[in-house]
């Protein structure tokens, strides 16, 4: 299993140029693991793309319904932010900002990484450079490589 951040998860539902590579990765996965936070972020992404005219009007609800169906079917495992994840978040923030040189991790990225660690995931499916820099410090492997 792998932990997927919002940007890569959204590639499965809102087609982008590199979506086929992520779709193949997902097809080979037993289950996709992500944070509850990703569901809120997915809602923003879908409505933003709709308002920007990148997807047809009314598509956001269709996409979000499909995500909900995939969760219900067990294809996506959603990990809640609990006290263990909060402790991981705090530790990640301290480790990144105390690193020499500091790694300026963003709040949501640290929440994703904390959730991945609590879920026991060691592979991060993400393309964000700053998130990957922090994840490297924490010992994650990556897709794409």
**What residue numbers bound the domain in which 41 lies?**
2-143
Per-residue confidence (pLDDT) for residue 69, from 0 to 100: 98
| % of the chain residues with pLDDT over 70 | 100
Q: What is the pLDDT of residue 117?
A: 97
Kindly report the CATH number assigned to the domain that includes residue 27. Answer: 3.40.50.1010
Q: Is the pLDDT of residue 1 over 90?
A: no
**How large is the average pLDDT for residues 44-69?**
96
| Overall domain count for the chain | 1
pTM, entire model: 0.93
Alpha helices of 30-128 — where are they, by DSSP H?
36-51, 59-72, 83-98, 107-119
- Using the predicted structure, report yes or no on whether residue 97 has a pLDDT greater than 90: yes
Rounded to whole angstroms, what are the CA distances from 92 to 52, 61, 117? Answer: 34, 34, 10
What is the average per-residue pLDDT within 102-117?
Answer: 97
Average pLDDT, stretch 129-135? 96
- Is the pLDDT assigned to residue 98 strictly greater than 90? yes
pLDDT confidence tier of residue 136, bands split at 50, 70 and 90: very high
So what's the pLDDT on residue 88?
98
Percent residues over pLDDT 90 in the chain: 99
Q: What is the pLDDT of residue 32?
A: 97
């Amino acid at each position: 299993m792998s932990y997927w951040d919002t940007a890569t998860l959204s590639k499965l539902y809102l087609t982008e140029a590199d979506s086929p590579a992520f779709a193949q990765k997902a097809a080979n996965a037993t289950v996709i693991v992500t944070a509850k936070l990703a569901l809120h972020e997915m809602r923003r992404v879908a409505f933003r793309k709709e308002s920007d005219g990148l997807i047809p009007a009314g598509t956001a609800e269709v996409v979000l319904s499909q995500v909900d169906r995939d969760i219900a079917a067990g294809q996506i495992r959603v990990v809640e932010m609990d006290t263990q994840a909060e402790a991981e978040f705090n530790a990640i923030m301290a480790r990144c900002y105390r690193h020499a040189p500091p790694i300026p991790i963003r709040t949501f990225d640290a929440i994703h990484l904390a959730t991945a660690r609590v879920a026991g995931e060691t592979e991060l499916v993400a393309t964000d450079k700053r998130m990957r820099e922090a994840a490297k410090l924490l010992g994650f492997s990556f897709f794409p490589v």
